[in-house]
Copies of this chain bind each other. A is one copy, B any other.
Amino acid sequence: MPNSFGHLFRITTWGESHGPGIGVVIDGCPPLLPITAEEIQAELDRRRPGQSDITTPRKEADVVEILSGVYEGKTTGTPIGLFVRNTDQRSSAYNEMKAAFRPSHADFTYQTKFGVRDPNGGGRSSARETIGRVAAGAFARKILALAHGIETRAYVTRIHDISMPAVTSATAFPSLAEVEASAVRCPDPATAAAMIARIKDVRSHGDSVGGVIECRIRNVPVGLGEPVFDRLEADLAKAMLSLPATKGFEIGSGFEGTLQKGSEHNDLFETRDGRVRTITNRSGGVQGGISNGEEIVFRVGFKPTATILQPQQTVDLEGNATELMGKGRHDPCVVPRAVVIVEAMAALVLLDHAMRQSAQNRTFEFPTE
């Protein structure tokens, strides 16, 4: 269903930007996972508005409450209800927007599809919905870490046209500290500084920019992913394109890889450290839809924030031409805050596939003849 994601570790999100709050239900979480509200909060704090001087000044503490499914500090196997109350709601900023469709927003499509919409702050189409994803992602990430040492790391590789140097084998897998060292979440300090300057510059003109996030996942066992439709990269692609403002997804060599010949692109096999490895990783850690034990590497493209503080041509609900001037408090660039959301979605996909793999391939062992 549209507001649920995952088959076995399944989350359902609900709530609107300017309603009472944002919630998520996690169904299928393994029991006995030790978890605290603080651990969830730590992830939410990386997502919340007002965290730095390049994000929206909207102030929301985004405090999470655990309403069910955890008993004496451990999950019980029953559904986990999480809730984050909305506190800083200035819906008056949206009065004008009730009467006209904001360009490149969801106003027009929601209104036409449903015949109605909550216009305050985008209602359900607001990126505040991703709070639920991040909160659920905290559970998924902890399970992956405890069970296999699986680590998910996303970071900003490009803002507008400012790119960081490619991550190579020498620099691979940035640490969390390296990512969090800058407000823009780019692990290369020089690039990060340039990115922050660019964001501030475009903001000063009432404009916005987008960029690219790369995500790497390490210590993934061989065998996650279910051909033919539920390939690991297919589910990752869906997860990423389900995020607001995303325009593209690529894995491994991606679109660049289409410029190579097969003889250049193929990942040759060798035995290394006692197990089968590929020498290169153009596959991005997935072959035939199934993880091959190498690092999973993918990238997600985010468009520039649609809300800009400039007058724009549009139409009102009756279709009459009008002009709309962006108001409210908005991020000039959503990419830095999206890093934690990309990690959360990636973890949700990985965990779901790990559970599916257990169900099909580890439930029964048949006698060998």
A30, A236, A248, A276: residue with the most chain B Cβ atoms closer than 10 Å: A248
Query: Does A116 reach chain B (CB closer than 8 Å)?
Result: yes
Question: Which of A47-55, A168-176, A207-215 forms contacts with chain B?
Answer: A207-215
CB distance from A340 to the nearest CB of B (A): 17
Q: Is the CB of A5 within 8 A of B229?
A: yes
Is A189 on the interface with B (CB-CB < 8 A)? no
A113–B223 CB distance below 8 A: yes
Asked if A68 CB lies within 8 Å of chain B CBs, one says yes
Looking at A123, A263, A365, which has the most chain B CB atoms within 10 Å of its CB? A263
Neighbour of A113 across the interface among B28, B248, B284, B290, CB < 8 A: B290
Could you say which of B68, B225, B241, B291 contacts A14, with CB atoms under 8 Å apart?
B68
Segment among A38-46, A56-64, A180-188, A303-311 that sits at the interface with chain B: A303-311
**A67-B19, A362-B358 are known contacts. Are A104 and B283 too (CB-CB below 8 A)?**
yes
- The answer for the CA separation of A29 and B366 in the assembled complex, in Å, is 12
B2 engages A228 (CB within 8 Å): yes
Instruction: Check A218 for interface membership: any CB of B closer than 8 A.
Output: no
Establish whether residues A3 and B31, one from each chain, have CB atoms under 8 Å apart when the complex forms: no
CB atoms of A240 and B242 under 8 A apart: no
Indicate if A166 sits at the interface (CB-CB under 8 A): no
Once the chains bind, are A254 and B258 in contact (CB under 8 Å)? no
Residues of B within 8 A of A327 (CB): none
**Total copies of this chain within the assembly:** 4
Q: CA separation between A15 and B66, bound complex, in Å? A: 10
Is A138 close to B, CB under 8 A?
no
Partner of A147, one of B76, B251, B364: B364
Q: Is the CB of B69 within 8 A of A116?
A: no
A337 on interface, CB distance cutoff 8 Å: no
Whether the pair B292, A81 counts as a contact (CB closer than 8 A) is no
Residue among B10, B69, B212, B304 making CB contact with A1, cutoff 8 Å: B10
- Residues from chain B with Cβ under 8 Å of A149 in the complex: none
- A195-214 interface (Cβ within 8 A of B): 202, 207-212
Most buried by B among A5, A223, A302: A223
Query: Whole-angstrom distance between the alpha carbons of A213 and B114 in the complex?
Result: 33
Say yes or no: B25 contacts A227, CB within 8 Å.
Answer: no
Q: Report yes or no: B212 in contact with A255, Cβ–Cβ below 8 A.
A: yes
Which residues of chain B come closer than 8 Å to A258, judged between CB atoms? Answer: 158, 160, 210-212, 247-248, 301-304
Beyond A109-B286, A234-B241, A238-B238: 14 further Cβ-contacts under 8 Å?
Answer: A2-B228, A2-B356, A13-B228, A30-B363, A31-B115, A108-B276, A109-B289, A113-B223, A158-B258, A160-B259, A210-B260, A248-B251, A255-B301, A265-B304
